[in-house]
A = this chain, B = another copy of it.
Protein backbone atom coordinates (compact mmCIF):
# COMPACT_ATOMS: atom_id res chain seq x y z
CA UNK A 1 0.00 0.00 0.00
CA UNK A 2 1.14 3.52 -0.76
CA UNK A 3 1.38 6.00 2.08
CA UNK A 4 -1.34 8.12 0.46
CA UNK A 5 -3.68 5.10 0.40
CA UNK A 6 -3.01 4.37 4.04
CA UNK A 7 -3.71 7.97 4.98
CA UNK A 8 -6.92 8.00 2.97
CA UNK A 9 -8.06 4.78 4.61
CA UNK A 10 -7.49 6.21 8.08
CA UNK A 11 -9.07 9.56 7.32
CA UNK A 12 -12.25 7.70 6.37
CA UNK A 13 -12.52 6.33 9.89
CA UNK A 14 -11.21 9.24 11.93
CA UNK A 15 -14.22 11.48 12.03
CA UNK A 16 -13.43 13.04 15.39
CA UNK A 17 -10.67 15.52 14.61
CA UNK A 18 -9.14 18.41 16.56
CA UNK A 19 -10.05 22.09 16.25
CA UNK A 20 -7.76 22.18 13.24
CA UNK A 21 -8.50 19.41 10.70
CA UNK A 22 -5.66 16.97 9.89
CA UNK A 23 -3.37 18.06 7.10
CA UNK A 24 -0.92 20.55 8.62
CA UNK A 25 2.58 20.02 10.02
CA UNK A 26 0.99 19.50 13.41
CA UNK A 27 -2.45 19.25 14.93
CA UNK A 28 -3.94 21.76 17.30
CA UNK A 29 -6.66 22.13 19.88
CA UNK A 30 -7.88 25.23 21.64
CA UNK A 31 -7.01 25.62 25.31
CA UNK A 32 -8.58 28.85 26.52
CA UNK A 33 -7.16 31.70 24.44
CA UNK A 34 -4.17 29.67 23.27
CA UNK A 35 -3.59 26.81 20.88
CA UNK A 36 -2.00 23.59 22.03
CA UNK A 37 -0.03 22.22 19.09
CA UNK A 38 0.97 18.56 18.92
CA UNK A 39 2.82 16.50 16.37
CA UNK A 40 4.44 13.09 16.05
CA UNK A 41 6.96 11.67 13.62
CA UNK A 42 8.46 8.22 13.63
CA UNK A 43 12.07 7.56 12.73
CA UNK A 44 12.90 4.02 11.60
CA UNK A 45 16.63 3.30 11.59
CA UNK A 46 16.60 1.01 8.59
CA UNK A 47 14.77 3.32 6.23
CA UNK A 48 15.25 6.81 7.64
CA UNK A 49 18.82 6.82 8.86
CA UNK A 50 21.84 6.98 6.52
CA UNK A 51 24.64 4.73 7.81
CA UNK A 52 26.97 7.68 8.31
CA UNK A 53 24.77 9.18 11.02
CA UNK A 54 26.09 8.71 14.53
CA UNK A 55 23.57 7.60 17.17
CA UNK A 56 23.87 11.05 18.79
CA UNK A 57 22.86 12.62 15.48
CA UNK A 58 19.94 10.19 15.20
CA UNK A 59 18.69 11.07 18.68
CA UNK A 60 19.08 14.79 18.06
CA UNK A 61 17.24 14.56 14.75
CA UNK A 62 14.31 12.69 16.32
CA UNK A 63 13.75 15.81 18.43
CA UNK A 64 14.49 18.28 15.63
CA UNK A 65 11.97 16.83 13.18
CA UNK A 66 9.16 17.18 15.70
CA UNK A 67 10.17 20.53 17.13
CA UNK A 68 10.37 21.81 13.55
CA UNK A 69 6.75 20.86 12.87
CA UNK A 70 5.65 22.70 16.00
CA UNK A 71 7.70 25.78 15.08
CA UNK A 72 6.25 25.80 11.56
CA UNK A 73 2.84 26.26 13.19
CA UNK A 74 4.14 29.39 14.88
CA UNK A 75 4.28 27.67 18.26
CA UNK A 76 6.96 27.53 20.91
CA UNK A 77 7.80 23.92 21.85
CA UNK A 78 6.89 23.15 25.47
CA UNK A 79 7.42 19.40 25.75
CA UNK A 80 8.79 16.28 24.10
CA UNK A 81 7.79 12.62 24.41
CA UNK A 82 9.21 9.54 22.74
CA UNK A 83 8.62 5.84 22.31
CA UNK A 84 11.49 3.53 21.51
CA UNK A 85 11.28 0.29 19.59
CA UNK A 86 14.39 -1.66 20.54
CA UNK A 87 15.63 -4.85 18.85
CA UNK A 88 16.81 -7.48 21.35
CA UNK A 89 20.34 -7.45 19.89
CA UNK A 90 20.92 -3.69 19.86
CA UNK A 91 24.32 -2.51 21.10
CA UNK A 92 24.18 -0.63 24.40
CA UNK A 93 26.57 2.02 23.09
CA UNK A 94 24.24 2.77 20.17
CA UNK A 95 21.30 3.24 22.53
CA UNK A 96 23.39 5.40 24.82
CA UNK A 97 24.34 7.57 21.84
CA UNK A 98 20.67 8.05 21.05
CA UNK A 99 19.96 8.97 24.66
CA UNK A 100 22.79 11.52 24.55
CA UNK A 101 21.50 12.99 21.29
CA UNK A 102 17.97 13.35 22.62
CA UNK A 103 19.30 14.88 25.85
CA UNK A 104 21.44 17.41 23.96
CA UNK A 105 18.57 18.36 21.68
CA UNK A 106 16.24 18.96 24.63
CA UNK A 107 18.82 21.33 26.08
CA UNK A 108 19.43 22.99 22.72
CA UNK A 109 15.73 23.63 22.17
CA UNK A 110 15.08 24.19 25.89
CA UNK A 111 12.28 21.63 25.96
CA UNK A 112 11.60 19.14 28.78
CA UNK A 113 10.91 15.45 28.20
CA UNK A 114 7.48 14.63 29.58
CA UNK A 115 7.07 10.93 28.94
CA UNK A 116 8.99 8.02 27.43
CA UNK A 117 8.25 4.40 26.62
CA UNK A 118 10.38 1.46 25.51
CA UNK A 119 9.34 -1.71 23.70
CA UNK A 120 10.88 -4.67 21.98
CA UNK A 121 10.65 -4.43 18.18
CA UNK A 122 12.45 -5.76 15.12
CA UNK A 123 13.52 -2.30 13.98
CA UNK A 124 15.20 0.37 16.00
CA UNK A 125 12.49 3.00 16.11
CA UNK A 126 12.18 6.40 17.75
CA UNK A 127 8.70 7.83 17.66
CA UNK A 128 9.02 11.43 18.75
CA UNK A 129 6.20 13.70 19.83
CA UNK A 130 6.43 17.44 20.37
CA UNK A 131 3.94 19.75 22.05
CA UNK A 132 3.87 23.51 21.68
CA UNK A 133 1.69 26.50 22.31
CA UNK A 134 0.88 29.74 20.58
CA UNK A 135 -1.72 32.46 20.56
CA UNK A 136 -1.75 32.67 16.79
CA UNK A 137 -1.60 29.54 14.68
CA UNK A 138 0.28 29.40 11.37
CA UNK A 139 -1.23 26.92 8.93
CA UNK A 140 -0.66 25.86 5.34
CA UNK A 141 -3.96 27.30 4.26
CA UNK A 142 -3.66 30.99 5.15
CA UNK A 143 -1.80 32.40 2.14
CA UNK A 144 -3.51 35.18 0.20
CA UNK A 145 -2.87 36.25 -3.39
CA UNK A 146 -0.19 38.85 -4.10
CA UNK A 147 2.02 37.92 -1.17
CA UNK A 148 5.70 37.08 -1.06
CA UNK A 149 6.83 33.47 -0.73
CA UNK A 150 9.93 33.19 1.47
CA UNK A 151 12.18 30.51 2.87
CA UNK A 152 14.54 30.60 5.85
CA UNK A 153 18.24 29.69 5.57
CA UNK A 154 19.35 27.82 2.47
CA UNK A 155 18.12 24.72 0.68
CA UNK A 156 19.57 21.69 -1.07
CA UNK A 157 22.47 20.74 1.16
CA UNK A 158 20.68 17.78 2.78
CA UNK A 159 20.07 15.97 -0.51
CA UNK A 160 23.38 17.11 -2.05
CA UNK A 161 25.11 15.64 1.01
CA UNK A 162 23.20 12.39 0.74
CA UNK A 163 24.07 12.04 -2.93
CA UNK A 164 27.69 12.99 -2.35
CA UNK A 165 27.89 10.21 0.23
CA UNK A 166 26.00 7.58 -1.80
CA UNK A 167 27.98 8.27 -4.99
CA UNK A 168 31.21 8.76 -3.08
CA UNK A 169 31.79 12.12 -4.78
CA UNK A 170 35.27 13.58 -4.81
CA UNK A 171 34.70 16.86 -3.03
CA UNK A 172 36.83 18.93 -0.71
CA UNK A 173 36.59 18.36 3.02
CA UNK A 174 35.17 21.85 3.37
CA UNK A 175 32.38 21.18 0.91
CA UNK A 176 31.64 17.82 2.46
CA UNK A 177 31.44 19.41 5.88
CA UNK A 178 28.98 22.03 4.70
CA UNK A 179 26.75 19.42 3.05
CA UNK A 180 26.95 16.84 5.85
CA UNK A 181 26.17 19.47 8.45
CA UNK A 182 22.69 19.87 6.96
CA UNK A 183 22.26 16.16 6.22
CA UNK A 184 23.34 14.92 9.63
CA UNK A 185 22.77 17.81 12.02
CA UNK A 186 19.85 19.89 10.79
CA UNK A 187 18.36 22.33 13.26
CA UNK A 188 14.75 23.39 13.61
CA UNK A 189 13.89 27.05 13.09
CA UNK A 190 12.23 27.61 16.42
CA UNK A 191 12.78 31.36 16.96
CA UNK A 192 11.89 32.02 13.33
CA UNK A 193 8.61 30.12 13.68
CA UNK A 194 7.70 31.99 16.85
CA UNK A 195 8.49 35.37 15.24
CA UNK A 196 6.51 34.47 12.11
CA UNK A 197 3.49 33.48 14.20
CA UNK A 198 2.16 37.00 14.40
CA UNK A 199 2.97 38.17 10.89
CA UNK A 200 3.10 35.42 8.27
CA UNK A 201 -0.11 34.32 6.55
CA UNK A 202 0.91 30.68 6.04
CA UNK A 203 3.88 28.45 6.81
CA UNK A 204 5.20 24.92 6.47
CA UNK A 205 8.54 23.33 7.29
CA UNK A 206 10.51 21.54 4.58
CA UNK A 207 10.16 17.85 5.42
CA UNK A 208 9.52 16.45 1.96
CA UNK A 209 11.28 18.94 -0.29
CA UNK A 210 10.45 22.53 -1.24
CA UNK A 211 8.53 21.54 -4.34
CA UNK A 212 6.15 19.31 -2.43
CA UNK A 213 5.66 21.85 0.35
CA UNK A 214 4.90 24.61 -2.16
CA UNK A 215 2.35 22.43 -3.92
CA UNK A 216 0.67 21.69 -0.60
CA UNK A 217 0.69 25.32 0.46
CA UNK A 218 -0.76 26.49 -2.88
CA UNK A 219 -3.46 23.83 -2.86
CA UNK A 220 -4.48 24.29 0.76
CA UNK A 221 -4.48 28.09 0.50
CA UNK A 222 -6.27 28.16 -2.86
CA UNK A 223 -3.66 30.32 -4.55
CA UNK A 224 -1.06 29.90 -7.27
CA UNK A 225 2.66 30.23 -6.59
CA UNK A 226 5.38 31.49 -8.86
CA UNK A 227 9.00 30.96 -7.91
CA UNK A 228 12.06 32.57 -9.43
CA UNK A 229 14.72 29.86 -9.71
CA UNK A 230 17.50 32.41 -9.54
CA UNK A 231 16.36 33.59 -6.14
CA UNK A 232 16.50 30.19 -4.46
CA UNK A 233 19.03 30.33 -1.62
CA UNK A 234 21.34 27.59 -2.83
CA UNK A 235 24.85 27.51 -1.43
CA UNK A 236 27.85 27.08 -3.69
CA UNK A 237 28.58 23.67 -2.16
CA UNK A 238 25.32 22.41 -3.68
CA UNK A 239 26.33 23.79 -7.08
CA UNK A 240 29.67 22.04 -6.68
CA UNK A 241 28.08 18.68 -5.91
CA UNK A 242 25.45 19.13 -8.64
CA UNK A 243 28.12 19.68 -11.26
CA UNK A 244 29.94 16.50 -10.27
CA UNK A 245 26.64 14.63 -10.27
CA UNK A 246 25.64 16.09 -13.62
CA UNK A 247 22.28 17.28 -12.32
CA UNK A 248 20.57 20.64 -12.05
CA UNK A 249 21.25 22.24 -8.64
CA UNK A 250 17.75 23.72 -8.73
CA UNK A 251 16.29 20.23 -8.90
CA UNK A 252 18.36 19.26 -5.88
CA UNK A 253 17.08 22.30 -4.01
CA UNK A 254 13.46 21.55 -4.90
CA UNK A 255 13.66 17.84 -4.02
CA UNK A 256 15.80 18.03 -0.89
CA UNK A 257 13.82 16.87 2.13
CA UNK A 258 14.37 17.15 5.88
CA UNK A 259 15.88 20.57 5.48
CA UNK A 260 13.68 21.86 8.31
CA UNK A 261 13.70 25.33 6.86
CA UNK A 262 10.40 27.18 7.06
CA UNK A 263 8.58 28.24 3.90
CA UNK A 264 6.13 31.05 4.53
CA UNK A 265 4.03 33.71 2.88
CA UNK A 266 3.81 37.36 3.96
CA UNK A 267 2.49 40.62 2.58
CA UNK A 268 5.45 42.50 1.07
CA UNK A 269 5.30 45.39 3.56
CA UNK A 270 5.77 42.95 6.44
CA UNK A 271 8.95 41.35 5.14
CA UNK A 272 11.15 44.40 5.75
CA UNK A 273 10.41 44.40 9.46
CA UNK A 274 11.34 40.73 9.92
CA UNK A 275 14.55 40.06 11.78
CA UNK A 276 15.09 36.55 10.53
CA UNK A 277 17.49 35.06 7.99
CA UNK A 278 15.23 34.47 5.00
CA UNK A 279 14.93 34.97 1.26
CA UNK A 280 11.94 35.97 -0.88
CA UNK A 281 11.83 33.36 -3.64
CA UNK A 282 8.54 34.13 -5.34
CA UNK A 283 4.96 35.31 -5.14
CA UNK A 284 1.47 34.01 -4.72
CA UNK A 285 -1.19 34.88 -7.28
CA UNK A 286 -4.91 34.47 -7.70
CA UNK A 287 -5.32 31.12 -9.39
CA UNK A 288 -3.72 27.75 -8.89
CA UNK A 289 -0.64 25.71 -9.68
CA UNK A 290 3.03 26.13 -8.87
CA UNK A 291 5.36 27.58 -11.47
CA UNK A 292 9.06 28.17 -11.67
CA UNK A 293 10.78 30.73 -13.85
CA UNK A 294 14.36 30.30 -14.99
CA UNK A 295 15.45 33.36 -16.98
CA UNK A 296 12.80 33.69 -19.70
CA UNK A 297 11.42 30.17 -19.28
CA UNK A 298 8.34 29.67 -17.14
CA UNK A 299 7.13 26.13 -16.49
CA UNK A 300 5.09 24.12 -14.04
CA UNK A 301 7.21 23.11 -11.11
CA UNK A 302 7.65 19.33 -11.13
CA UNK A 303 6.51 17.53 -7.98
CA UNK A 304 9.84 16.25 -6.71
CA UNK A 305 10.38 14.41 -3.45
CA UNK A 306 9.63 11.02 -2.06
CA UNK A 307 6.72 9.14 -0.66
CA UNK A 308 7.29 6.47 1.94
CA UNK A 309 6.10 2.98 1.10
CA UNK A 310 6.02 3.73 -2.60
CA UNK A 311 5.76 0.44 -4.47
CA UNK A 312 9.12 -1.11 -5.09
CA UNK A 313 11.00 1.59 -3.28
CA UNK A 314 12.55 0.81 0.06
CA UNK A 315 12.67 3.66 2.51
CA UNK A 316 12.11 7.33 2.09
CA UNK A 317 15.21 8.48 0.29
CA UNK A 318 13.49 8.15 -3.05
CA UNK A 319 13.99 11.11 -5.27
CA UNK A 320 14.25 11.60 -8.95
CA UNK A 321 17.92 10.81 -8.62
CA UNK A 322 17.65 7.11 -7.95
Contact = CB atoms under 8 A, between A and B. Distances in A.
Given A81-B129, A99-B14, A86 B6 contact: yes
Interface residues of A, number: 76
A9 B95 contact: yes
Interface stretch (A107-115, A139-147, A222-230): A107-115
A90 interface: yes
Nearest to A105: B16
Contact of A42 (B14, B18, B85, B103): B85
Number of copies of this protein chain within its complex: 2
A125 B118 contact: no
Nearest to A24: B115
Interface string A30-54: 0110101011111010111000000
A185 interface: no
A120 B16 contact: no
A131 interface: yes
Contacts of A82: 40
A75 to B, nearest CB: 13
A205 to B, nearest CB: 14
Interface of A: 1, 3, 5-7, 9-10, 12-19, 22, 26-29, 31-32, 34, 36, 38-42, 44, 46-48, 78-79, 81-86, 88, 90, 92, 95-96, 99-100, 102-103, 106-107, 110-123, 125, 127, 129, 131, 133, 308-309, 314-316
16 contacts: A13-B99, A16-B107, A17-B112, A17-B113, A17-B114, A19-B112, A27-B114, A29-B114, A36-B36, A40-B81, A40-B83, A42-B84, A44-B119, A118-B309, A121-B121, A129-B129
